[in-house]
Amino acid sequence: MQTGAAQALQDGGPRVVRSGFLGRIAVVLGALAALSVGISIAGKWAGRVIAMGGHTDDETVREIVIGNDVLAVPSNMIRFEAARRSGAASRLDLYLRWPQMDGYSHATRDAFNHADGEKGIVFVSFEPRMMSRDMSGRYEPIYRALIEEEGRPGPAGLTVHRFSEKSGYVDEVLVVAEAEGGQPFVMRCLAGAAARESLAPCERDIHVGDGLNLVYRMPAGLAGQWHEVEAKVREAAAGFLKAAPRH
């Protein structure tokens, strides 16, 4: 027969062990619950990031300084995530939905994701001006000597010229039209398979601001609306530009 003390030790021992074991289970269950909540939150965040595909619907205006020019642009119009911040930059790349010239949002996601092969985005880049002439100004002294004189008619008064074989512009054509102001409208476009595969095969540059060169690229399907595209791009640029910073 066991003594009372021995019986007490035997009875008490398992209860102590059981209590500690249950406590550890509670801690583990609590940790698992917290981990589950964390995974759920992280999953939702990651899912949103994946669903956005690098886009953002954040409309916070960023002030980007390029040389002596300041651009105030909503984040959802800025193409690359790393550039969606205020401060100095060497260039700024935007993308805008045609014809609204607005940025990415839930409502516009199909256009920016090119759903069903849709090509309706105009790409705009601002960079420091490196040449004294824009594309129109380079037509007479440079491009005219590099193209075949006879061109074929295009939409909306455009004439499409092939580049000469020695020009260096492989698989490209020069598109020219008469425009107001004395200088022609000029843009370079990819040709053939390269044009069909590109989202925006036609490129033109203009001078804006104090010292900026603006390059815009548009889908080939908008060539017939070149008047409107040019006007809307210039209007958008004027809206982005702010007064130069004071030193």
List b or e across 197-211, with b for residues whose CB sees 16 or more CB atoms inside 10 angstroms.
Answer: ebbbbbbbbbbbbee
| CA distances (Å), origin 41, targets 38, 45, 50, 61, 112 | 5, 6, 14, 27, 27
**DSSP single-letter state for residue 24:** H
For 211-245, the pLDDT digits (tens) are 999 999 999 999 999 999 999 999 999 999 997 55
Q: How confident is the model at residue 35, as a pLDDT?
A: 55
Q: Percent of the chain beyond pLDDT 90?
A: 74
Q: How confident is the model at residue 53, as a pLDDT?
A: 73
Q: Residue 110: pLDDT above 70?
A: yes
For 124-137, the pLDDT digits (tens) are 999 999 999 999 99
Q: Are 201 and 130 in contact (CB under 8 A)?
A: no
Q: How confident is the model at residue 3, as a pLDDT?
A: 47
| Residue with the two structure tokens 């060497």 | 90
| Residue with the two structure tokens 């809307």 | 232
Q: Which two structure tokens, joined as six digits, stand for 127? A: 């960079």
Q: How confident is the model at residue 219, as a pLDDT?
A: 97
For 44-74, the pLDDT digits (tens) are 444 444 445 799 999 999 999 999 999 999 9
Q: How confident is the model at residue 170, as a pLDDT?
A: 87
Q: Residue 152: pLDDT above 90?
A: yes
Taking the CA atoms of the chain, what radius of gyration do you get in angstroms?
A: 31
pLDDT band at 180 (very low <50, low <70, confident <90, very high): confident
HSE-CB for 239 with a 13 A CA cutoff: 11
| Residue with the two structure tokens 């909540």 | 37
Residue bearing the bigger pLDDT, 124 or 2: 124
Cα distance between residue 220 and residue 203, in whole Å: 10
Q: How confident is the model at residue 50, as a pLDDT?
A: 43
Average pLDDT, the chain: 86
Q: How confident is the model at residue 10, as a pLDDT?
A: 44
Q: How confident is the model at residue 22, as a pLDDT?
A: 64
Q: Which two structure tokens, joined as six digits, stand for 90? A: 């060497």
Q: Residue 13: pLDDT above 50?
A: no
| CA distances (Å), origin 217, targets 4, 73, 102, 116, 166 | 93, 18, 16, 20, 25
